[in-house]
Structure 1
Amino acid sequence: MDAYRSREDAAKCMAEGLTDHAIGLRLRMDPKTVKKWRAQMGVPQPQKSERPAGASVQEALDFHAVHEDAGHIGWSGTVRNGHPIVKLRGQWLLASRVAFELGHGRQPVGNVKASCGRPRCLESTHLTDRRMRDDARAKVREAAGRRPPPATCAQGHNQRVFGHLKPDGVQCCTRCRDAPRPRNTEKPRAMDGTAEWTTRAACQGSTAALWETPGVTSPEQEQAHAARSVCNTLCAVRAECLEHAMTAERGSERTERTGIRGGLDGGERHDLETGRAMPEEHGTALGFRRHQLLGEPRCPRCLNAQALAPS
């Protein structure tokens, strides 16, 4: 029954003078099937029409626009690298950017994407640019109860220029993300004796494997818990150890960070660098270091704790 209905709908579209490609877009079916039905019904192919010379921008866009179901607008014109393009004043332009500018009255910022999820949809109300997506993601961040994004990242880059919000509302610095950086293949160790503070670490003289446990199986989780207990209760240089690990691992992926450093495992250190799920330890020297790593203003409690901390 659906096949007959589609065949009847295709016949109506043929009577309107639409091409096989345009009918396929409207009915969401293979143009080859439409071509076969056209041959069976003896309907000739429509004559190829040309866009009139001197057409306006809206007319140039409407010439290849195909109105589909649910308010979507398809494209029957030229497609390059998967993107509809239109020729205006001798220059090929992305049809999505042209449709956005006509619908919103301004030039788009960044890439234009269809929020409806329909590939190549050119309905202006379905199109969003980076500014609109950032506004929507800022609302997601606010609804999740996250703090406002900092003015600068940990590297001091202006987030008004380089700031970008991910779909889950997490802040990302595009300059830090795109900057080439050498990968540090050596695993940071707090017991290597390369700095003065390592001689005061509570882990000195302990088995190094205790701080390298993956923490996957139950015995490994017990070892990781024991390492954390040493860091959190006995170590006087926990903040220095964490800062050393964060510096050595900067830019590394979550899976590349292993072991317990400064009381945090690799996943927690990755979250700390990206601004996710940071444990709040205000009023401590470690909280002061976290403010430094994230480029945040130091709160009075952490400033006071840092001033009273032994040098």
Structure 2
Amino acid sequence: MKPTYLTEKSIAEFISRALAEDIGDGDHSSLASIPADAQNQARLLVKGEGILAGVELATYIFRTVDPDLQVEVLLQDGASVAFGDIALTVKGRAQSILTAERLVLNCMQRMSGIATYTHYLSRLIEGTNATLLDTRKTTPNFRMMEKWAVVIGGGRNHRFGLYDMVMLKDNHVDYAGGIKEAIEATRRYLKDKGKELQIEVETRTLEEVREAIETGGIQRVLLDNMSPDMMREAVRMVGGRYETEASGGITEETIAEVARTGVDYISVGALTHSTKSMDLSLKAYK
């Protein structure tokens, strides 16, 4: 099931903005060199290994550019792929295929890279109770697709933006005057505004964990840049009263040990901010 932020409207608006950025007043290379009535076909070729993502989005893009383009999907989102695989074929007006080509590839390459790395890290924490989360460390105007790729790769989305969950990070806590002050001010704000949002508070020390527990009125305690031993003690202190999340400097070398501390969630910004794209290409064939 697709995440709730993926609606027909949201996808259509993204594609419209992206095509406007790329096409401007016309794809003059294709308009100039290819006859308007020329028909052709192309294959989307995989030139790497990993988890494929963005196939469904690609079909939206092709059909937005030209509703008459015929897309045959051969490999679905989430499929394990290897060099030489064919993800899909597209047939129709040659000009339309070429106009859609770069946006399709840009999206699918980036999304497949994210899905691949998400799948890899998820495998490293199998057998534990920890769930892998993404963050807001995303590319402006491409967050929706990057978070979609995380889901395709087997991870889960953290909050989508600043509006759908309260996350009191270190700067909020410091500016507010402390853990207790930040939580209590937030609870008053939410009550005054009539909003029902979950509250997560970031902690940097076991004393801050203790203060968050004693203050209460939250849903999750974030354990930031703590050693595994500190995390383990923090989880023991929380004792299941609130969810726990580990974050900060977590790598593929350390994530399994972090998961074994008993945390409920592990958030990794590198899923979306430092992932290598998968090599894909769209090639004409007869």
Q: TM-score, normalised by structure 1?
A: 0.27
Q: TM-score, normalised by structure 2?
A: 0.28
Question: Comparing both structures, which one devotes a greater share of its residues to strand?
Answer: 2
Does 1 or 2 have the higher relative contact order (CA < 8 Å, sep 6+)? 2
| Bigger CA radius of gyration | 1
